[in-house]
Amino acid sequence: MNREDLMKHAEVAMSVAKSDLLERGKVLPTLVMVPGKNQPYIMTPVADENLIPPILMKEKPEAFTWAAELWIRRPDSSERREAIEVVGGCGITRVLIRQGFHKQEGKIVFEDRWVPSEIELAGYAVNLGMSDGTLGQIMGVWDVAPSGGRVYYVPTRGFRIWVPEGWRMAREVAVDDGKPRPTFYRDSKPHGAVRVTTFWRKTEETRDPRAEARAESERRRQTPGVENVAVEEKQNSVIVSFSQVVKEPKQDQETRMYVWLVHDALGHILVTFASNVNDRESEIMDEIVSIREIVNRIDRL
């Protein structure tokens, strides 16, 4: 089922939810599953969002929609309002429709409607996943990348990242700011996880990314324990890569850190991958090759 067909299912679910609201004064939270072509739909009330992932895992429908009533907060305001929200899913594809409303003199008055673009929804879904694991699961952000890989938009961290087939996203609490951030790793027998940090220039002074990258590479070559320093020039950036054995704070075990610094006109993007120091290079080479491609495709938002 393509995105257009999935949106048609979401529109039907929204129409039903609006009718419920007008007739009963409330929306019955409903999960509709499409088992497959020419098979009858499965419709069930699901008031608890935490029940949706296990139901979907058990039934394994081709597609689904979930409609519910919720409170939303206006941007940059403490004001809240009511809305109907419908999420549609098929594989890793998601669509969303949000219909605002309010009650006036005993009547329902519908307000504006939000139908995010594919890119807008991708960023919204990742933000949901960072704050609520269950909502992230409903939005498919934890799903394994299919053939051809998938792209994640991470607005809170300011980057867009592609991961190859068989990789997925997880979340952790960042040490530097105590906030959730994504990590990326191979689903089958991973040796470590990829972490991304974006740095932005604090001044408007013009810089030379190539000169900065060369200086960075020379500094790394002179640092004890740093190995495999390399510089790769791209059209709009320069990538400095190296590896180093480090000892993490409060940990006795050493790890081998693989580092890529993407220098561009706006600052640099730091990509790291940490593996056990005892892992043989031949064991992790497939992951390193994949990460190099990830680094080549990473970009700012």
- pLDDT tens per residue across span 11-29: 999 999 999 999 998 999 9
| pLDDT tens track for 107-161 | 899 999 999 999 999 999 999 999 999 999 999 999 999 999 999 999 999 999 9
Q: Where does CATH 3.40.1000.10 sit in the chain?
A: 150-300
Length of the chain: 301
Per-residue pLDDT, 77 = 63
On the question of pLDDT at 238 being above 70, the answer is yes
| pLDDT tens track for 157-209 | 999 999 999 999 999 998 888 889 999 999 999 999 999 999 988 777 778 88
Confidence of residue 8 (pLDDT cuts 50, 70, 90): very high
> Using CA atoms, how far apart are residues 146 and 166, in angstroms rounded to an integer?
7
Residues 50 and 134 sit within 8 Å (Cβ to Cβ): yes
| pLDDT tens track for 70-103 | 988 766 666 778 999 999 999 999 999 999 999 8
Per-residue pLDDT, 250 = 65
Q: Which two tokens mark 134?
A: 């269950």
**CATH class held by domain 150-300:** alpha beta
pTM: 0.88
Per-residue pLDDT, 114 = 94
Q: Which residue has the tokens 């990258």?
A: 213
- DSSP conformational letter for 121: H
> Using CA atoms, how far apart are residues 170 and 192, in angstroms rounded to an integer?
12
| pLDDT tens track for 246-259 | 876 666 778 899 99
On the question of pLDDT at 37 being above 90, the answer is no
Which residue, among 196, 188, 138, 130, has the nearest Cα to 162 in the 3D structure? 196
> Using CA atoms, how far apart are residues 151 and 163, in angstroms rounded to an integer?
6
Q: Residue 60: left if φ>0, alpha if ψ -120 to 50, beta else—which one?
A: left
On the question of pLDDT at 276 being above 90, the answer is no
Q: Which residue has the higher pLDDT, 85 or 1?
A: 85
